[in-house]
Amino acid sequence: MQQASSWILDSSLILVAAGTFLLAVSAAVVGSFTFLQKRSLVGDAVAHSILPGVAAAFLFSGIKDPWWLMLGALISGWLSLSLMDFLSRKTKLSQDTAIATVLSVFFGIGILLLTYIQHLESGHQSGLDQFLFGQAAAMKSRELWIYGGLALVLILCTLIFFKEFKLLSFNPDFAQTLGLPVRGLRILMNSLMVLAIALGIQAVGVVLMAALLITPSAAARNFTDRLKAMIVIAALIAGFSALLGSAISFSAKGMPTGPWIVMCLSILALLSLFLAPKKGMLARMLLQKRHQQKINDENLLKAFYHYGERHANLAQWIQLKDLEEVRDFAEEDQSKVLKRLIHKGHLLRKGEAFQFSRAGLDEARRVVRLHRLWEMYLSQRLRLKSDHIHPNAETMEHIISPEIEAQLLEELDYPDKDPHQSPIPYRS
């Protein structure tokens, strides 16, 4: 407790945490639009391409001034972005090839310049090599004010142009028809992305910058389909990861801040992949299991109905072995499905025999009706042969909603029999 209090009151930790928080949040906000436009690799290439600009700015100015380094990063980032666009449009290179080419060339030049700087008399003290993996722990108050102020400008610009960026991300053609300056908005959006990357490398470096730009949005996308909510969640994930990564780095000497921030981001992203309420793997597995149980339940009810229909007595008691006359089931599956149907009140049990309840008979009629209606549609409207319609109907009968059923009945004019001349059971 005492140690935690000392951390909270430590000015160095406050400085680093505040800086990384602002840089991470601004990168997540701008990166949401980059993620939605499926330009994640472009963001990674720009991050790597900024390195020669930073090194060139140091060589030109001779000092490690944030404004000079930022100017060099912006010029280099924009140059790489323009070159990727030029190679994609004017040559036969595919877009991913153009991205990979620009990334490797610019990053290679950046490494060469850094190596050259290290051999200069004052080069080994420049600290530019920290741009590879970030230098958040070495951030000073002047840099915090500059980078933090620019981060706030980024967030403010995104809020001001939110509607335009949203339209440009989802439907640029519609934005053009509305008379919006699409080209100008695209330049503005790209400039904000380059600026966000140039700021973000202060925290995590050029190598890991793509994670800071894209991972929060990718994680947030698992929780919502609404853009505003996605941006807010992405900003919260990025901000929390920045604070947690800074605290972990501060607690252990020699632990780099940037990689820890990215590690926290990655853990949260993995958790979202598994645990997100609707789109997470766990939720989808449970949904798939429930859907498979529904199919098994309806298939067994349908088998009871077919047996009763064949013997002209839907109220009779039927044993499991009797169902082999109409359909083959695995014995293990049958026992589980029967337990569920009895629990739902769809079947009654007397010894080894089973009988429809009132609700169970209505449900069986519904499934058989949907199957035969869909067979009629496939036969009459799509002109499929009679031996091709049954497998398709077996699948569709489980997913037809009441609204689609009503449309089918109207489209087919309430038929009495299916293509095999079997009666279509309606509600009694």
pLDDT tens per residue, range 55-104:
899 888 887 788 888 899 899 999 999 999 999 888 888 888 999 999 99
Average of pLDDT values for 187-203? 86
Report which DSSP code applies to 91: S
Per the structure block, which two tokens stand in for 379? 């036969």
**pLDDT tens, 229-252?**
999 999 999 999 999 988 888 887
pLDDT of residue 33: 92
pLDDT of residue 299: 92
| Sequence spans of domains, the chain | 1-279, 284-412
Of 54-58, 247-251, 269-273, 282-286, the range with the lowest mean pLDDT is 247-251
Fold of domain 284-412: Arc Repressor Mutant, subunit A (1.10.10)
What whole-number distance in Å separates Cα of residue 329 and Cα of residue 18? 63
Write down the pLDDT at residue 327.
79
Q: Given a cut of 80, is residue 135 above it in pLDDT?
A: no
Amino acid identity, residue 64? K
The whole-number pLDDT of residue 125 equals 55
- Distance from C-alpha of 337 to C-alpha of 339, rounded to nearest angstrom: 5
* Strand arrangement, sheet containing 318-319: 318-319, 353-356, 347-350
Ranges 58-72, 146-160, 377-391, most confident: 146-160
Beta carbons of 156 and 188 less than 8 angstroms apart: no
The span from the CA of 41 to the CA of 99, in Å, is 7
Give, in order, the Cα–Cα distances in Å from 334 to each of 11, 308, 352, 396, 422.
67, 18, 13, 22, 26
Answer yes or no: is pLDDT of 3 > 60. Answer: no
Computed over every residue of the chain, the mean pLDDT equals: 87
185: left (phi over 0), alpha (psi -120 to 50) or beta: alpha
Residue 9 confidence (pLDDT): 54
Question: For residues 26 and 269, what is the distance between their CA atoms, to the nearest angstrom?
Answer: 18
Q: What is the CATH number of domain 1-279?
A: 1.10.3470.10
pLDDT of residue 4 exceeding 60, the answer is no
pLDDT computed for residue 2 by the predictor: 55
For residue 320, pLDDT beyond 90? no
Q: 0.85 cut: is pTM over it?
A: no
Q: Indicate whether 338 pLDDT > 60.
A: yes
- SS3 percent helix, strand, coil of the chain, rounded to 5, is 75, 5, 20
H-assigned helices in 311-385: 331-344, 358-380
1-279 and 284-412: same fold? no
pLDDT of 238 reads 93
